[in-house]
Amino acid sequence: MALGAVLAALIAGCEIKGTTAPELEPRVVVHAVLNPTSGVQIVTVERTLRSVVRTSSETPPYDPVNDALVIIYGPRGDSVIARRATGTGVSEGVYRVSSITVTDGSAGDPQPNVLRIRPGERYRLRVETSIGVAAGETTIPVVGPIDESRLTFNLDHDTLRVDTTAVRNAAGYYLRHEWRRGVDERYVTILDGALLRPPSTAADSDWSFAFAGGTIYPGLTQRFTLVAVDSNYFRYYVAGFDPFGDDTRGNTLTGGVGLFGSVAPVVSKILDFTADVDTPMEGSWATDGPSPTLPTAMVLYSSPYFPREGNGQRISLSGTGQILGKTVEAYGADDGNGTTLLFFYPVDQSSPGTSATGSMSGEDLVLTDNSTGERITYRRR
């Protein structure tokens, strides 16, 4: 996933899960997160009627506000008006404004109605609606250049570190680990000594992404993102605020509820994981003939550190392969008898996965498709 998609996910995380409360009170619900790496800033404005009682399967009792006046005030007497977004696929109640980021102290782009985002400075938001005026303010974190480099990373001995000495005005950090089958995330106030490193013991958690250790697999490609967040954003999500059922916990606005905060990405790295090739089944393998269900070529790794123990069975072999020109991911588990069971899942999920029993035959690796009985011999490349 590209950095832009990650940042979009951050903004999407501002969507609200509707609940109800007994008061007969229309409420303005606002969500806006300023981001200096984005060229467009988004403000979502909604209205909810808390007197509506619903079941969990019903539509949340809130409505978009399409006639709001949304103003963002900059730190130097400047201001912009966010216009309601229109077009196919655009949700109602969404307002947008173009922005540029200024870090050199200059006046910035002279174009009218362009928000000049200056990290380290304070911004105010005012949203005027027929049911009330919501207002808030945020100070944008300063982080320095974003580390977006891609690395080949050996899980057996490499360490990923981050320099946060330049970070200012951040109340905490959002950590996000993305792999093909899901996302692991957490909020912290202090980073540990390293973002990612081989743990010395099963209980070792003195690294920031230790919470994601159970889904870090050698041989695969995964993304790690670190974002500095302001106090509003941090408090809102750590408190688990629900504007449709709570007026105080995590709310950062006056005259309304919701969030006006800011974020600044520090790291968004793709890591191509490897490990030392020191067990018989690790390495690059290929076979001469094609197969409809088994890979013709694959690269497998095993690490004593990753993934971390889970569910009573350690997945000890993982990697990638090619089946009929499609990339697949491979996961294997040692059954304790020297036999390895390999599962191959096409990344695009357009075809069902294949399970195969694997064993070494001299210097060769032999896989047998558990469904068809097809038997293929692989040789090292």
Q: Does 112 share its domain with 250? A: yes
Residues 260 and 118 in one domain: yes
In the chain, the number of structural domains is: 2
DSSP string spanning 231-285? Answer: HHHHHHHHTT--TTT-SSTT---BSSEEEEEEEEEEEEEEEEEE----STT-EEE
Judgement on whether residues 287 and 256 belong to the same structural domain of the protein: no
pLDDT in tens, 183-230: 999 999 999 889 999 998 888 999 999 999 999 999 999 999 999 999
Alpha helices per DSSP H over the chain: 3-12, 231-238
DSSP letter assigned to residue 130: T
Burial class (CB in 10 A: 0-12, 13-18, 19+), 86: exposed
8 Å CB contact between 326 and 351: yes
Helix, coil or strand: residue 16:
coil
What Rg do the C-alpha atoms of the chain give, in angstroms? 25
Residues 226 and 308 in one domain: no
Asked whether residue 265 falls in the same domain as residue 279, the answer is no
362 and 229 housed in the same domain: no
**Rounded-to-integer distance, Cα 95 and Cα 352, Å:** 42
Compute the distance between CA of residue 41 and CA of residue 63 in angstroms, rounded to an integer.
21
Nearest CA among 237, 30, 207, 27 for reference residue 125: 30
Per-residue pLDDT tens over the stretch 292-334: 999 999 999 999 999 986 545 556 899 999 998 889 999 987 6
Check whether residue 118 and residue 160 sit in a common domain: yes
Q: Of 217, 246, 272, which residue constitutes the final position of a domain? A: 272
Question: Looking at the structure, do residues 79 and 166 belong to the same domain, yes or no?
Answer: yes
| Domain limit, last residue, from 239, 272, 305 | 272
Supply the pLDDT for residue 14.
Answer: 47
Residues 196, 217: one domain?
A: yes
Last residue of a domain, one of 272, 290, 313: 272
Point out the residues of the chain with pLDDT beneath 70.
1-24, 49-62, 240-249, 309-315, 334-339, 346-351
**Prediction pTM value:** 0.86
Give the domain range for residue 166: 3-272
CA distances from 254 to 28, 124, 246, 335, 337 (A): 10, 12, 14, 59, 64
Q: Are residues 107 and 224 in the same domain?
A: yes
For strands 62-64 and 375-380, give the pairing.
Answer: unpaired
Query: Is the domain of 260 the same as that of 303?
Result: no
Residue 59: the pLDDT is 57
State the chain's maximal CA–CA distance in angstroms: 78
The gap from C-alpha 79 to its chain's centroid, in whole angstroms, comes to 31
Are residues 202 and 238 located together in one domain of the fold?
yes
